[in-house]
Amino acid sequence: MKTQNFGYKKLYIDGQLVDAVSGEREDVICPATGEVIAQVAKAGKADAEKALISSQKGFKFWSKLSLEERTVWMLKLRDAILEKEDELRNAMVHEMGKTYAGSEEDILRLTEALEWYPNAMKNMREEQIPDYEGTHTHKMISKPAGVALAYLAWNFPLLNVGYKIGPALASGCSLIIKPSTLAPLSAYMVGEILHSINFPAGVVTILAGSSREVATPMTTSKIPAVITMIGSTQTGQRIIADSTTSIKKLGMELGGNAPFIVFEDADLDLALDLAIGLKFGNTGQICVAANRIFVHKSIYDKFLKAYVKRASELKIGFGIKENQDVFMGPLASRDARDRMFELIEDAVSKGATLEYGGKIPEELPEGGNWFQPTIVSGTTTEMKLFREEIFGPVAGVMPFDTDDEVLELANDTEFGLASYIFTNNNKRIERFTEDLEFGEIQINGVKYAIYLPHGGFKNSGLGHDCSHLALEDYLVKKRVTSAL
């Protein structure tokens, strides 16, 4: 199994590709082989300070450009990314283990965001407020908030960039992107693309480093007006606490614990197809993954048998372009793989049954973080599989009897991002749409798109990614009142 070496990648600060002030570099490890596939400049506190000052200047310039001028630059970046599409997709396969086919979504969402958000910004209308006494006119206008920080997860390296760079740039904000140190390669390559097209200095910055040396100094700084992130709830809570040195706008897409509810009248084949895709796609490393699968007791045995069969037929491997039939790659880290064993051991010790998987595939390289698609039946509320976001290819399945029972189980979580129900009963759909405590209710199917709002309740976050609602994270409102 051969890997590609991508060489050394520099930080992108103030429009330039630069080494870290300390000169430090960090290896990027391929999770399929354990081999070093690149080195990146490892930012420190001095680099973070440079990024903040540069972004202040970048904001002053960018926010004064017309939307039409900003659009020209954003489309120029989109076109340059599409020219490098194959290289960027190959980098994602190597840095975090997703399949080449799976990497298409990252490129699509990134380039869509650069095109869609200028139009969304153009379509924003000033809000006119009536004056009941007829003595004044009133309107609300939107202005860019300032410097924005974006802390990004590794599971969709460029999709996550797209979700932030689109609305930030369209609104007139400058943006500092801190990708995860686990998978920074493709984001650094975007920095190279920005440099190659002479994108205005300081408008976009890309750097990765430790939380202590980079994230904490930037979060506690009074320069940022916006902090946005995609990551775990624990990280989000820490960033919120650190941000209180000044009043900042916050937008956060955090952890998920999605219920996937299959009722007795569901289209079983459809539910099975999506239970495979939403659980094992991207090796389960998706915030909206089907985390807890509830199946009505009348079809439970039939569903479980078919689910095990389909999971056992999935091909695991290094999903490079030549291996188009690979469905599932490795987990992104060894710690993530070890956690799958812990979750299964906890469930089985509390009475669950391991139906399939739970092992490291023998035919794949020892250096990779491989794990079989795994199904555990008979999960209960006391198990970690029920309580925690799994973020891996382990599915916990449990039967239910009544609508009341499954609704209570579905809502029994601190998270509230995505949820899925499969039924043809309209009254039931109406009830669950009203009573499920999740930011997204997907009925008899699933769809995500740049124009569809993506956000959660409870500990799953603040604000929205995607859609026109994402722009609100980067805008402040002015009321303008004129006497008649």
Here the tokens at position 182 are 């686990």
The partner residues of 400 in beta bridges, in order of sequence, read: 296
Count of beta carbons in the 10 Å neighbourhood of residue 304: 20
Enzyme catalytic residues: 253
Would you say 157 and 128 are in contact if contact means Cβ atoms under 8 Å apart?
no
Would you say 317 and 284 are in contact if contact means Cβ atoms under 8 Å apart?
no
| DSSP E strand boundaries for 357-450 | 374-377, 394-400, 415-416, 418-422, 440-443
C-alpha pair distances (Å), 121 with each of 174, 382, 451: 16, 46, 12
Here the tokens at position 362 are 């023998």
Question: Which SS3 state, helix, strand or coil, does residue 204 take?
Answer: strand
Looking at residue 458, the DSSP 8-state letter turns out to be E
Would you say 274 and 446 are in contact if contact means Cβ atoms under 8 Å apart?
yes
Here the tokens at position 463 are 């604000």
Would you say 144 and 475 are in contact if contact means Cβ atoms under 8 Å apart?
yes
How far is the C-alpha of 364 from the C-alpha of 11, rounded, in Å? Answer: 34
**Residue type for position 192:** E
Here the tokens at position 298 are 């009348």
Count of beta carbons in the 10 Å neighbourhood of residue 431: 14
Q: What DSSP string runs through 321-353? A: TT-TT--B---S-HHHHHHHHHHHHHHHHTT-E
How far is the C-alpha of 407 from the C-alpha of 413, rounded, in Å? Answer: 11
